[in-house]
A = this chain, B = another copy of it.
Amino acid sequence: TGCVCSLHPKKNNTYIRVSLPAVCFVWQIAMVILFGVFIRYDEESDEKGWHEFKRSHNITSNIENDFYFRYPSFQDVHVMIFVGFGFLMTFLKRYSFGGVGFNFLIAAFGLQWALLMQGWFHSLDPVTGKITIGIESLINADFCCAGSLIAYGALLGKVSPVQLMIVTLFGVTLFAVEEYIILDLLHCRDAGGSMVIHTFGGYYGLAISWVLYRPNLNLSKRLNGSVYHSDLFAMIGALFLWMFWPSFNSAITNHGAGQHRTVINTYLSLAACVLTTFAISSMGQKKGKLDMVHIQNASLAAGVAMGTSAEFMITPYGSIIVGFCCGIISTFGYLYVTPFLEKRLKLQDTCGIHNLHAVPGMLGGFVGAIVAAAATEEVYGKEGLVETFGLSGKFENRSMSTQGAYQAAGTCVAIAFGLVGGVCVGFILRFPLWGDPADDFCFDDEAYWELPEDEETIPPVLEYNNHMINKHQDTHESQFSLEES
């Protein structure tokens, strides 16, 4: 499609034939070595270990293997990471390959690095020096990637795949550290990751995007929008995220009533969120028409905001209230805050992660703090309270109001890590050697993908017509050139 190329004189800087393979090979070889040194099966996935575990725990049935408690949720989370996030980012008319393709690349890298980072911080055996992994580790690795994928949402169309690999390398690293501080040191509960995943990921992406501000991005304005069918592809992603969010929030909560209740709360909250999203979306446009961007994104905000509190006894109507508010806040964000941020704060946020992850995540952190502070033995039962908040060992005497304060502190830690980490990574990405596209070549798969010769493109027809009308030359020749283009 030569005619399209001619519009992009500065495309030569997107050459990644050396850098991308180099990064992929170096990091993947590092993974092989580090996995060889550190990673082993845990006692529920090791052949010998499981037989011994059953004997020592007096378990008679294989169904008690953690695998059967977690695997269905794991697969749902896996779908959210690869199809959910991936297809949600296909909404741009000419960056769908990049949306789903680079999401695939960085998630596949991120989950390997996450197993190592999370392993070192959470489950390194001090005696053997090994990390043991099981199904819960895989879920946590997927979660850890989610932080970087959220950040990708703010950068969509403006960075190279090499830059994304760097975003993910540091994103996963920062994630593991903040998660260690929040979950282990502060001893917060955050099973669905309002704080550790969404707040962190959201502010991390926003900070990077702020550092990478492109004043002339309107040169690519023609491609920063959707077409009819790209919006439908994005709807596939949005719906899989929406449907499986109950699995996301319940994937690593306590067995039994814990997982059960988390699903109910998330399900209700998400349903309520849809109605207020539709309402505000219609109110926000002069003619009352609905906007697909809101439906695809704001309807998910409730899932983000329930990440911390869904496993608590927030009550069914409490969940609905959270969803109700999130639909309003998030849709308002898309209508008014994102344009404001771009204009006043020079913050270009392609997917609006500010409204879908950063703000609802932060809200979710504080909702969690309030619900935790309000927890009583009367509602949870004595052993229920201990189990739900993990108040055993050295945290045995922590009061619920203290727990609430720590939860709130955890949210602040996540914001701080996101902002500071993002600014640092942003400056790294500004080195002029990563192959990012020029301002007039953003949101364009042409930069990194071999595109099919597409019959649907309009330009050749236009060109052809002009040719016809201006010159009235040999028809046969022109027709031939059209077929070739």
Contacts and interface: CB of A to CB of B under 8 A. Distances in A.
A73 B71 CA distance: 9
A188 to B, nearest CB: 18
A29 B111 CA distance: 41
Interface in A331-368: none
Contact of A260 (B32, B44, B105): B44
Contact of A452 (B32, B67, B231, B324): B231
Contacts of A18: 288
Contact of A68 (B69, B76, B233, B451): B69
Interface string A414-456: 0000000000000000000000000000000000111111111
Interface in A103-125: 104-105, 108-109, 111-112
Interface in A228-243: 228-233, 235-236, 239-240, 242-243
A44 B36 CA distance: 42
Contact of A276 (B25, B79, B291): B25
A32 B255 contact: no
A41 B452 contact: no
Q: What copy number does this chain have within its complex?
A: 3
A256 B83 contact: no
Interface in A82-118: 82-83, 86-87, 90, 93-94, 96-97, 100-101, 104-105, 108-109, 111-112
Contact of A247 (B48, B75, B450): B75
B275 A105 contact: yes
Could you say which of A36, A135, A257 has the most chain B C-beta atoms within 10 Å of its C-beta? A257
Residues of A in contact with B, size category? 35 or more
A469 interface: yes
Contacts of A79: 240, 243
A276 B449 contact: no
A160 B62 CA distance: 47
A247 B75 CA distance: 9
B468 A465 contact: yes
Contacts of A86: 239
Nearest to A256: B62
Nearest to A81: B243
A328 B305 CA distance: 42
A47 B227 contact: no
Interface string A285-326: 111111110010001000000000000010111001100100
Given A16-B282, A45-B261, A48-B384, 13 more contacts: A15-B287, A17-B283, A28-B320, A28-B324, A51-B384, A67-B259, A68-B69, A75-B243, A100-B239, A104-B299, A225-B453, A289-B448, A292-B449
